[in-house]
């Protein structure tokens, strides 16, 4: 299957209408279910059950994967980027100060979600702009530290202007007056035959009268170059795999909306795509388990290091990671002891083709 990279005016949305109430909707109310950076929650070593409004596929048999552990697209991307980053976020759960870019992304996502609460005829740039202030107030209430993001009023106003520009750009790519999403901020979960649970949040799911499913994800950055399209689409294929395993139907379209530069990326997956994605996710998880068992979380220096919040603790920058949590600490934190270490070190060749 090929990727279609588009820089377009509006997309014809006349065939995308509400349908299929089989999936549960999880609208934003009160605290946002995602992390402050807009990512999915970390892996869940505690083995907590899925919330009642989660789409699940619990009929799959339990396999060799450790029960209770799960993987989201964000944490998968962390491990692919740098195993040590995965450790810092999932095992150590080190705090990270919110960044203006991440907070802006969270704000824009919140506004676009709320936009569809309005009647179709009222979904316009002015309505979106009017949602910015209340959405920001709600984010501040949930994450008070966000109030300290800005050095002065000028910086704050520039930040809000950039958020409004992204929202204005959205209306050049889609016509929301012709859309009635089936689901927004949909929390999904599926268990693979190995026992591994996949989980995440989908920005929007559209379902046509014929039952065709389109998965939509908003990005507040710019579209990557075509040579990096596989990494850009991994998250979307991950979501498509989860929906396929829960509904039994391959989504018709995956659509990324890049609000940073006004581009659309569309991809039509097939069953072979999703089977390949499943194999890649399983291979990735085996590498994560080996790293965890061997307590071997190797840093991988790359272009994203410049934005990492943990440089001071990274050996690549002269730092020293904190000691790994003890089994007792993990038992207290996750209600289960840390797995016994194994001799095998992570084999990065297992995941070399993931990107």
From the list 162, 115, 158, 153, the residue with the least C-alpha distance to 134 is 115
Per-residue model confidence as pLDDT tens digits over 174-221: 999 999 999 999 999 999 998 999 999 999 999 999 999 999 999 999
Per-residue model confidence as pLDDT tens digits over 95-121: 998 899 999 999 999 999 999 999 999
What's this model's pTM, rounded to 2 decimal places? 0.77
- Tell me what pLDDT residue 46 has: 31
Q: Domain residue spans in the chain?
A: 19-98+181-281
**Tokens read off for 133:** 């202030």
- Tell me what pLDDT residue 335 has: 59
- Give the position of tokens 């960044």: 99
Tallying the residues shown for the chain, one arrives at 355
**Mean pLDDT of all residues in the chain?**
80
- Tell me what pLDDT residue 224 has: 85
From the list 137, 128, 130, 133, the residue with the least C-alpha distance to 169 is 128
* Residue 43: DSSP 8-state: P
Quick check: 56 and 246 in contact, CB under 8 A?
Answer: yes
Q: Which residues of the chain have pLDDT under 70?
A: 1-68, 227, 333-355
Q: What phi and psi values does residue 74 have, to the nearest 5 degrees?
A: -65, -45
From the list 139, 142, 153, 150, the residue with the least C-alpha distance to 108 is 139
């Amino acid at each position: 299957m090929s990727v279609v990279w588009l820089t377009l005016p509006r997309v014809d949305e006349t065939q995308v209408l509400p349908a299929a109430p089989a999936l549960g909707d999880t609208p934003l109310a009160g605290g946002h279910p995602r992390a402050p950076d807009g990512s999915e929650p970390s892996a869940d070593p505690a083995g907590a059950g899925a919330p009642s409004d989660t789409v699940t596929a619990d009929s799959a048999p339990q396999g060799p994967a450790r029960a209770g552990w799960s993987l989201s697209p964000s944490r998968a991307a962390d491990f692919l980027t740098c195993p040590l980053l995965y450790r810092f976020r999932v095992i150590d759960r080190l705090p990270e100060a919110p960044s203006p870019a991440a907070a802006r992304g969270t704000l824009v996502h919140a506004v676009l979600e709320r936009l569809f609460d309005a009647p179709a005829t009222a979904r316009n740039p002015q309505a979106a702009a009017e949602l910015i202030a209340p959405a920001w107030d709600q984010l501040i209430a949930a994450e008070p530290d966000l109030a300290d993001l800005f050095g002065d009023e000028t910086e704050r106003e520039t930040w809000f202007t950039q958020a409004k520009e992204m929202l204005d750009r959205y209306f050049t790519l889609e016509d929301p007056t012709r859309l009635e999403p089936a689901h927004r901020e949909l929390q999904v979960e599926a268990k693979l035959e190995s026992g591994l649970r996949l989980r995440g949040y989908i920005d929007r799911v559209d379902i046509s009268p014929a039952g065709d499913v389109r998965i939509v994800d908003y990005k507040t950055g710019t579209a990557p170059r075509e040579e990096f399209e596989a990494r850009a689409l991994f998250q979307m294929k991950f979501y498509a795999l989860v929906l396929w395993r829960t509904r039994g139907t391959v989504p018709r379209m995956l659509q990324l909306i890049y609000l940073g530069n006004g581009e659309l990326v569309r991809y039509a997956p097939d069953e072979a795509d999703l089977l390949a994605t499943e194999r890649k996710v399983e291979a990735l998880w085996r590498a994560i388990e080996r790293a965890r068992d061997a307590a071997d979380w190797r840093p991988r220096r790359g272009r994203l290091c410049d934005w990492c919040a943990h440089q001071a603790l990274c050996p690549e920058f002269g730092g020293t990671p904190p000691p790994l949590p003890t089994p007792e600490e993990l038992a207290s934190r996750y209600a289960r002891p840390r797995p016994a270490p194994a001799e095998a070190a992570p084999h990065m060749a297992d995941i070399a083709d993931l990107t």
